[in-house]
């Protein structure tokens, strides 16, 4: 039982990290798109 709870916590933490990472990638791509659009217009 103890092992299961520890494993569950680790799994949720890992999943949160993946969600956070994908969010950061999404933000980075959006920023890059904005920068490229600005450089194209100027």
- Domain layout of the chain by residue ranges: 1-42
Low-confidence ranges of the chain (pLDDT < 50): none
pLDDT at position 40 is 84
Phi then psi dihedrals of residue 3, to 5 deg: -60, -45
Q: d(Cα 3, Cα 29) in Å, to the nearest integer?
A: 39
pLDDT at position 31 is 96
Q: d(Cα 15, Cα 9) in Å, to the nearest integer?
A: 10
Q: d(Cα 25, Cα 29) in Å, to the nearest integer?
A: 6
Residue 31: which of 17, 20, 23 has the closest Cα? 23
pLDDT at position 7 is 66
The model scores a pTM over 0.75:
no
pLDDT at position 25 is 95
Q: d(Cα 15, Cα 22) in Å, to the nearest integer?
A: 11
pLDDT at position 23 is 94
């Amino acid at each position: 039982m103890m092992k299961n709870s520890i494993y569950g916590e680790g799994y949720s933490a890992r999943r949160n990290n993946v969600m956070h990472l994908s969010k950061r990638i999404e933000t980075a791509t959006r920023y890059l798109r904005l920068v490229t659009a600005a450089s194209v217009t100027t």
